[in-house]
Amino acid sequence: MRIAGLVAALVLSGSAAARPVATDIGATTRPTVELFLWCAQFPDAVCRRQAADAARAHCRAMGGKAQFVLSALLQRHVAHGDEGYFLYDCTR
């Protein structure tokens, strides 16, 4: 009985300590470009090039340069291919 009580106490104290602490994340100072593209296969060179060209054009219109941040596969579809997410920052 004592061992079960100790195990329960350890589990509860461990789960309370493992909870993430809320952090304050402020607004980004750089404008970002989010792109959602359907690709034949994620990630392929054509899809990455299209995302980079679109981000460059958008950032150039704002007077900056596109800097790649991340890309991710959102979903796979038999008829449409793969939906990719691309994120770029516009830097000066």
pLDDT tens track for 28-85: 566 889 999 888 888 788 889 999 999 999 999 988 899 999 999 999 988 888 899 9
Whether this prediction's pTM lies above 0.85 is answered by no
Q: Which residues, in sequence order, are CB contacts of 85 under 8 Å at separation 6+? A: 34, 35, 36, 71, 72, 73, 74
Domain count, the chain: 1
Range of the domain at 12: 2-91
Q: What is the pLDDT of residue 59?
A: 92
Q: What is the pLDDT of residue 26?
A: 46
